[in-house]
Amino acid sequence: MSIKAVGDFTRTVHVLEPGDRAYLDGPHGVFTPDRYEGPGFVLIGGGIGIAPLLSMLRTARDRGDPRPFVLFYANRRFENAAFVQGLDELSGHLHVEVIHVVQDSPADWMGEAGFIDEELLRRRLPTRFERFQHFICGPPPMMDALEDALTDLGVPPDRIHSERLSFIS
């Protein structure tokens, strides 16, 4: 379970002990590649939005899915990125390219810097990306911008799927 501390419960959940009672609600929605056909997948995550995308990658690995995956993973700082080791391990068992994008990158950073935007996508998306299924999960402003960018790049709207982790619009 991946939990970001954003409210009273999520800031204190770490103090729960085995046997403590907690009431949880969800999951909500259907954010899974199982429902969609395509030659491959583009996954775009920001911060803790990596959690459902990592689940997709693990499931693909366990099923032996041969299709390519391209993962864009944005974080303010690389050292705060969740599940980096797990992503590295998956690359040995799955056809996945992981593209880390760091907003506040140090001078010696060799990867992508700044934000995931249309220009970065144009440079790094694979050939025939318009036919891939695209999944986005992260902060709402990032998701809004990337839904627009993918549409502007020619991805049909029915191939763009978003998971909004916030109930606040």
**Structure confidence by residue, pLDDT tens digits, 115-156:** 999 999 999 999 999 999 999 999 999 999 999 999 999 999
Is there a domain that residue 11 lies in? Answer: no
Is there a domain that residue 28 lies in? Answer: no
* Residues of the chain where predicted confidence (pLDDT) is lower than 70: 1-7, 9, 26-31, 165-169
In this structure, what CATH number is given to the domain that contains residue 104? 3.40.50.80
Is there a domain that residue 72 lies in? Answer: yes
Is there a domain that residue 79 lies in? Answer: yes
Range of the domain at 78: 59-134+150-164
Is there a domain that residue 112 lies in? Answer: yes
The structural domain count of the chain equals: 1
Beta-carbon contacts of 46 under 8 Å, excluding residues fewer than 6 positions away, are 73, 74, 75, 116, 137, 138, 139, 142, 143
Is there a domain that residue 42 lies in? Answer: no
- The pTM is what? 0.84
Is there a domain that residue 86 lies in? Answer: yes
